[in-house]
Structure 1
Amino acid sequence: MENKINILRKSFHAFFRNYQYFTFFVALILLPVSILVLLSQAVEFFSYPFLLTIQIRLDNLFNAAGFPPSSPFFFLLNVKLSQTITCSIFSFPFTLSFLLIAKSAIIQALHHKTPSTTASSVFSLYNPLLLTHLCNSFIIFSAHAVGLCFLFVLFISFSEFGYSSPDSAFFLSAGGAVVYSLILANTLIICNMALVVAGMENCGGFVAILKACVLIRSRVSTALSLALPVNLGLAFLEALFQYRVVTIYHMSDKISFATVFEGLLIAYLYSLLILQETVITCIFYTNCKSELRIDGEGNADYHYYRIKNMEENEIFMDSKFLHELP
Structure 2
Amino acid sequence: MRRGGGGGGGGLHHGGAVARAGRVLRAAAAAFFHGYHCYTSVAGLLVLPFSAAVLASGAAAASSGTLRAVSARMRGVFDAAGFPPSAFFALLNAKLSQTVFTFTAALPFALTFLLLAKACVAAMLRPDDAAGGGGAARRRRAEGRAPVALPPCASVAGAYPALVATHLLGSFVMLSANAAVFSLLFLAFNGADLLGLTSHPATLALSAAGAIAYSVAVGIATVVCNLAVVVAAMERRAGHAALLRACVVIRGRVPTALALALPTNLGMAAAEALFQLRVVSHHRRAAGWTKLAPGVAGEAFSIAYIHALCVVLEIIVSCMFYRSCTRSDADELRELEPDDKGDLQA
TM-score by length of 2: 0.80
| Aligned counterparts of 1:45 and 1:37: Cα–Cα separation in 2 | 14
1:50-199 equivalences in 2 (<5 Å): 50-69=66-85, 71-112=86-127, 113=141, 115-116=149-150, 118-199=152-233
| CA shift digits 1:274-303 (9 cap, x unpaired) | 111110111111111114789xxxxxxxxx
| Aligned counterparts of 2:51 and 2:226: Cα–Cα separation in 1 | 17
1:34-49 equivalences in 2 (<5 Å): 34-43=51-60, 48-49=64-65
Matched letter for residue 83 of structure 1: Q
- More displaced stretch, 114-123 vs 9-18: 114-123
Q: State the number of aligned residues.
A: 292
| Aligned counterparts of 2:189 and 2:295: Cα–Cα separation in 1 | 49
| Aligned counterparts of 1:293 and 1:78: Cα–Cα separation in 2 | 49
| Aligned counterparts of 2:29 and 2:201: Cα–Cα separation in 1 | 46
Corresponding position of 2:335: none
Q: Secondary structure at the match of 2:303?
A: helix
Q: Secondary structure at the match of 1:40?
A: helix
Q: CA deviation at 1:121?
A: 2.8
1:257 equivalenced with 2:273 (yes/no): no
1:205-224 equivalences in 2 (<5 Å): 205-224=239-258
Determine which of 271, 274, 287 is the counterpart of 2:324.
287
Q: Is the 8 A contact 1:27 1:275 kept in 2?
A: no
1:278 equivalenced with 2:315 (yes/no): yes
Q: Is the 8 A contact 1:143 1:184 kept in 2?
A: yes
Q: Is the 8 A contact 2:181 2:217 kept in 1?
A: yes
Corresponding position of 2:272: 238
Q: CA deviation at 1:198?
A: 0.6
Which structure has the higher relative contact order (CA within 8 Å, separation 6+)? 2
| CA shift digits 1:147-179 (9 cap, x unpaired) | 111211111111111111222222211110110
Matched letter for residue 263 of structure 1: A
RMSD: 1.8
| Aligned counterparts of 2:228 and 2:57: Cα–Cα separation in 1 | 26
Matched letter for residue 2 of structure 1: A
Give unmatched runs, 5+ long, in structure 2: 1-17, 128-140, 142-147, 332-346
Distance 1:293 1:184, change over 3 A: farther
| Aligned counterparts of 1:158 and 1:12: Cα–Cα separation in 2 | 48
Q: Is the 8 A contact 2:57 2:106 kept in 1?
A: no
Corresponding position of 2:19: 2
> Alignment identity in percent?
40
- More displaced stretch, 168-177 vs 267-276: 168-177
Q: Is the 8 A contact 1:116 1:122 kept in 2?
A: no
Structure 1 outlier segments of 4+, above 6 Å = none
Q: Secondary structure at the match of 1:162?
A: coil
